[in-house]
Amino acid sequence: MDEFITMDHGAGGRRTQELIKTLFARSFDMEAPLTDSAIIGFDGGSVAFTTDSYVVDPLFFPGGNIGKLAVCGTVNDLAVSGAVPKYLSASFIIEEGFKLSLLEEIVVSMANEAKNAGVRIVTGDTKVVGRGKCDGIFINTSGTGLIQHDRIHTGKGSRVEPGDMLIVNGPLGNHSVAVLGSRKGLSFTTPVESDCTSLNHIIDSVFRSGARVNFMRDLTRGGLAGVLNELAEITGKAIMIDEGSVPVDDPVRGACEMLGFDPLYLANEGKLLIVTPSNDTDAIIEVLRSFPYGSKAAVIGEVVPGNKHMVVARTVTGGKRIIDVPSGLQLPRIC
């Protein structure tokens, strides 16, 4: 491990995973594989429990703000673990001098998003620190949800097999580009808005369709590339994607070409990966496309035979390239 913490340790890539595994998970005796939520069993059932902190810069961006993001992020971490989100906590670290009107706007957006998601914010905490000590406001949300026995495997990848298909519910990179554009004052010919939204309703509909879900994960820090590499590592299987099938909106693609970003590595706040047997693919696509935030859902690849746990992309020019684990930071303070 490095002697000092760097911004790369918070980027969701290789450095983040090393920090979690070699320090936190080992010290706290956490069980592998580490998923977006801990599954806690008790007499008569199981609950999912998760927590996350939000430090996005700027606090307000097209399509959302730090408050909406804090609710969506925790709801989605529960939902992709197979749980039905129920209750959240919300804790605030607020800098002295922060405008009360802005705080109210943030809190109202949290209340509205919780209502839309069908969850309740039931407890929390507030701390105020001196000027210049926290960059406005930081928010932590934790959440719990009920999980049925037949969904406990969802975040673990234990049922993934060669031939399973990979599905995403829509275009990648919108959140990162929207935040970056707002941060740097960039203007786009076609406005780019964050995809920040709670996915629990669409996820529950996928489960209720009867289609088999062998794995699910939201595509936040590290983006699609990070999640695919994590899936390959925990399953020991190889993954092949068709780069031309990965949906990316034209303004986002243009911004990535101009700024040197790869949309496969960009963070999203309303996108997820679903892994399913091939004969259930059509049913899942139909469910996803019945929702506004799944209307551009696409099959992007499959799990392939072989024990080399690596991710390979077929490029639009007919070649192949390895999609490696993101090693460091593309965009800081994105969530």
105-144: pLDDT as tens digits: 999 999 999 999 999 999 999 999 999 999 999 999 999 9
Per-chain mean pLDDT for the chain = 93
Q: Of 304, 302, 226, which Cα lies nearest the Cα of 263?
A: 226
Report the domain count for the chain.
2
What is the rounded average pLDDT of the residues 296-324? 93
The residue that leads in pLDDT, 15 or 29, is 29
Q: Output the domain CATH number for residue 193.
A: 3.90.650.10
Q: Are residues 134 and 269 in the same domain?
A: no
Q: Are residues 179 and 308 in the same domain?
A: yes
Q: Is residue 296 part of a domain?
A: yes
Angle at 150 between CA 142 and CA 159, to 5 degrees: 95
What is the pLDDT, as a whole number, of residue 160? 96
Of all residues in the chain, what percent carry a pLDDT higher than 70?
Answer: 98
Domain enclosing residue 202, as ranges: 165-322
Indicate whether 246 pLDDT > 80.
yes
Q: Are residues 136 and 169 in the same domain?
A: no
What is the pLDDT, as a whole number, of residue 327? 67
Indicate whether 256 pLDDT > 60.
yes
Q: Is residue 7 part of a domain?
A: no
pLDDT band, very low/low/confident/very high, at 308 (cuts 50, 70, 90): confident
Domain final position from 151, 176, 204: 151
- Its pTM stands at 0.94
> Among 42-56, 82-96, 285-299, which stretch is predicted with the lowest mean pLDDT?
42-56
Phi-psi category of residue 148: left, alpha or beta, with phi > 0 → left and psi -120 to 50 → alpha = beta
What is the pLDDT, as a whole number, of residue 328? 63
Q: Is residue 11 part of a domain?
A: no
Domain final position from 151, 181, 208: 151
What is the pLDDT, as a whole number, of residue 2? 54
Q: Output the domain CATH number for residue 122.
A: 3.30.1330.10
Domain final position from 125, 151, 177: 151
Indicate whether 329 pLDDT > 80.
no
DSSP for 107-169 reads HHHHHHHHHHHT-EEEEEEEEEE-TTSSSSEEEEEEEEEEE-GGGTTTTTTTT--TT-EEEES
Of all residues in the chain, what percent carry a pLDDT higher than 90?
Answer: 79
Q: Are residues 82 and 182 in the same domain?
A: no
